Each structure stands twice: as C-alpha cells, then as structure tokens.
Chain A
Amino acid sequence: MKLAICAGPATSGKTAVLRHVTDKLLRAGKKVAFLKIDVQYAEEDEMFAELFGIPTRKVYSGELCPDHCNVMVLGDAIQWAKKNEADVLLVETAGLCLRCSPYVDGGLGLVVLEATSGMNLPLKVGPMLSLADMAVITKIDRVSQAEREVFRARIQDVAPSVLIREVNALHGIGIDPIVEQIDATDEAPERMLLRGNPPVGTCTICVGKKEVGWQSHFGVVRPLENQTFYRGE
C-alpha cells in the first residue's frame, strides 16, 4: 500500500485536489482509503465516503500538535487502511503547526498552496514546504500568468528540490502529474520515521504555567531582545 500525506494552509484547496486525485485513482482501478486529521472540526471524511463510497476516517488532534497527532495515529491508520485492502491511503492534514513536519519518510509529502495567497507565503510555511516532495499550486485560474510564474519562482527559491505542479482544482486541470507521483511512490514500509527534526522540546507554558514574562519560567526561556536564542534556566 502507498501513502500520501497532503498538508497546506486552511482553504488552500487540499480537499479539492484530493477529490480529483481520488477520482482518478478509482478510475485507474485502485482502492483508496482517506484519513482526515484536523484540530477540532472536519467533515471531509463524510464527504469522501458519500462521493466515492470509500473507507474514510477522521481524527481530531485537540490538545496535541496536529503533526504530532499524525505521527501518533498513523501506525494504526495504516493497519486500518490495509485491513480495508486499500492500494493508497490519502491523509489530509491541517498542517497548522508551522514548526513540525507533517510528512514521513516512506510516504509521499504533498503541500498545497494557493496562488492567491501572497508572495511571502512560501517563506512562512517552513517545513511544510521545505520537507515536501511536491508543491501543488491551486487557484491558478484566479491570477495572471505572470503572477503564477512569480509565485512558482518564490516557492522554488525557498525549496529548490521540491517538484512544483500547478492545478485548477475547481475543474480538475493538471491533476495527472500528482497521480503519477503517487504511482511512482514506493510501498509504505513497516517502520516509518517522521521527516525532519521535531522542534525544541516542551516549555513550562506547555505544561500549564500561565504567568506572563520569561522570568516566571524555567527550562526553555527567551526574552524579547533575542530573536533566535533560547537558553536553559
């Protein structure tokens, strides 16, 4: 079974892209399972079940970073998809935590970015872009050709090795290269590792200490006048 994890900012078009991808995979005779990971609300699972009659599930990450939640549940999810005899497991995740990677080694990492989102977005999304295998640019119907190409250049500058493909996810134009990339992905191995390095551990705020100001905290602390440095106290 192959695994593809799809991340991207809210409303960037992840669901729209995956709908067309699912449709094409099904037409090619593949069995697809779909898992949605979100913080507190999602209905994509019901939508995919209704549209395609495929096995779907959702997980709310709640208190946990959605990317970490992904790592926690993915082992079980793969067992679940395999039990359903899926050839491909598609995971749509919010990818809200811009420090963590939503991707794993052994699966395809797709980031969905909208061409309408401003030229600095590629600089802001961190590992969600830089650790992806493929960046899918949606909503190309909403911008001029020139803007679309400049957006592509901005992505390529941040992530030189990421494959970029442009789509109109409303009409399903440009979806084939994504399906080909999934086909070209190796079967998901038994043991998989989270891609990239997780961020610095936990701070005292994570464990419930609510006082404002670094003087009230210990362990990982940081004053304002120090953009990058954290020190142990």
Chain B
Amino acid sequence: MIESISLLGGHGRGGEPDLVSRIDFQMGDVVSIVGPTGSGKTTLINDMELFADGNTPTGRRVLVNGVRPPAEFRNNPAANPIALITQHTSFLSDLPVREFLKTHARIRSADPSRIADTVSRTLAFANELTGEPIVLESRMTELSGGQSRALLIADATIVCDTPIVLLDEVENAGIHRSRALELLREHRKVFIFVTHDPRIALLSDYRIVMKQGAITQLLHTDEQERRCSVTVGRVDDMMSTLRERIRLGQRLQDFEMGAVA
C-alpha cells in the first residue's frame, strides 16, 4: 500500500539548491506546481515519474512510504504507482486506438478478464472530454492534439488507475477542463498538476513555486484564496462558455457578462 511519496530536494539549473528540502505528498493531496515557462516544472514531475535517485540532472531523490522504492516500480508497469500525463499532444505510435489501449491495459494490470471493459470505459471517459469523439478504429497518429490529451488523461485514470497521478498542463489541452477536474476528483489519489491556471492552483491544497530549475517555496492555499476561488471559478466557467460558443461558430452580442461585471 502506498501511503506517501516524498521528494528530497536537489538543485536548480545553475546549481542553486532547492529551497524546500523535503516535500511529503499524502494520499488525497491535490498539489500544483507553478512557475514561469522554462522554470523546471516538467523536469520536477519527470523526476518523480523516474523515481529519481540523484541520477537525474537535478540531483533530486524520491522516496515511497519513506524508503527508496524497489526497482520493480520502473521495470514493471503493473507495479508502477505513478501515472504521468505528459505535455505531448501527438502520438508516434502507428497502432489503432483499440490495440493501443488493449496492450496498455494488459501490461498495466494483472487481470486479463477485465481488459475489454477497461478499454470501453477509457474511451467513454476520453469522449467526455473531447469535442469530436474518438473511435477505437482510428489510428493513434490520426488523433488531434486535444483528442490525444483526452485519451492520455483517460488512460492514466482508468487503465493505469494508480494512487499517484502527475498532470502536465492539462489546461492547454483544448479539452473540457472543468469536466476533467470533476471526473478526476471522483478518484481518491494524489494529484500533482503542473499548471498556469489560477482555478487549478486555487483548488490545490498547496502549490510548489519554481524558478530557474529550483523549488523556491511552498504556498498553502489560505482562507482569502479559498474565498477568491469561488469567483475565479465563475469567471472561468464564463470563459469556458465563451470558448464553447466560439467553437460552435456562434455570435456573442447577447452574451451575459454579469458574472464578472
């Protein structure tokens, strides 16, 4: 059973130390990683996914339940407690979607009798996030950027079904983001979001701030921010509606701006 995953600080790009020497993520935590473009956010979650042991360019180390995780986590996907949704928006894989998901379900889980069910639930999840539905017969390489991200999110949640999920800038995916957050929250896991999005950041228990490759501080979401997050949510919903209207080729002249005005 995974109870916690810990990150031991290393150093930034220029060798300056991470200013937070240890972070313990507990089951149920929702955490964001924020910082300017190029500040090392992706690198930080890659360290976690690789179970870094001082062997990555950052010198960071990862512990699971307080100790060094077994090599099996890296060498056997069925034992790996981490799912990572990367920034990639295209697949190089030349397989049909069905074959891809079947293969991934097979290597990620021990129970072969549930593969068909896993594949159809994954597809259903992904199609709740996309505009145009994904079909199992299409090839992975034909999927659009948004469809690829939706499929990766669904794959990480349903196929991998791991206690720890790392998500890299899901807001840029062109998918139904608030629906994605809702669906994700139904699953009790550690969620670590790399994000530029205030809504996601304020939904988190705390955020990790990055600069020049190093961790500079941890900011716990305080009372005032929790109050703000209600308004942020409303503004964000309004922006989503606007976005959706534009997508559907509609005009905006009679659009209700009251939510922010």
Which residues of A are in contact with B by a Cβ distance under 8 Å?
A: 116-120, 141-147, 149-154, 156, 164-166, 171-177
Contact = CB atoms under 8 A, between A and B. Distances in A.
7 contacts: A144-B86, A146-B152, A146-B156, A150-B95, A152-B77, A172-B55, A173-B56
Contacts of B74: 166, 174
B190 interface: no
Contacts of B159: 146
Interface stretch (B102-110, B207-215, B223-231, B247-255): B102-110
B49 interface: yes
Given A165-B75, A173-B56, 8 more contacts: A118-B92, A119-B94, A141-B46, A144-B88, A145-B83, A145-B85, A171-B57, A177-B71
Contact of A150 (B83, B84, B103): B103
B95 A145 contact: no
A27 B103 CA distance: 40
Given A120-B94, A173-B55, A145 B84 contact: yes
B219 interface: no
B104 A153 contact: yes
Interface in B57-112: 57, 71, 74-75, 77, 83-86, 88, 91-95, 100, 103-104, 106-108
A120 B212 CA distance: 40
Nearest to A140: B50
A149 B107 contact: yes
For the complex of A and B, list the 3 residue pairs with the smallest distance between their C-beta atoms, beginning with the closest: A153-B107, A145-B84, A149-B77
Interface string B37-53: 00000000010011000
B155 interface: yes
A208 B92 CA distance: 41
Nearest to A166: B74
Nearest to A116: B92
Nearest to B141: A118
B104 A149 contact: yes
Contacts of A143: 88, 92
Residue among A118, A150, A175 having the largest count of chain B Cβ atoms under 10 Å: A150
Contacts of A141: 46
Contacts of B75: 164-165
Contacts, number: 70
Given A150-B103, A153-B104, A173-B56, A144 B94 contact: no
B217 to A, nearest CB: 26
Residue among B49, B94, B159 having the largest count of chain A Cβ atoms under 10 Å: B94
B93 A118 contact: yes
A225 B93 CA distance: 32
B104 A150 contact: yes
A156 B107 CA distance: 10
Interface string B139-154: 0000000000000100
A171 B100 CA distance: 28
Nearest to A118: B94
Nearest to A164: B75
A98 B86 CA distance: 34
Contacts of B49: 145
B93 A119 contact: yes
A147 B93 CA distance: 7
Contacts of B77: 149, 152-153
Contacts of A172: 55
Contacts of A154: 103
A154 B155 CA distance: 18
Contacts of B85: 144-145
Contacts of A144: 84-86, 88, 91, 152
B91 A147 contact: yes
Contacts of B50: 173-174
Residue among A119, A145, A147, A156 having the largest count of chain B Cβ atoms under 10 Å: A145
A227 B139 CA distance: 28
A113 to B, nearest CB: 13
Contact of B107 (A152, A166, A171, A177): A152
Contacts of A164: 75
B84 A119 contact: no
Contacts of A147: 91-93
Given A145-B86, A165-B75, A153 B106 contact: yes
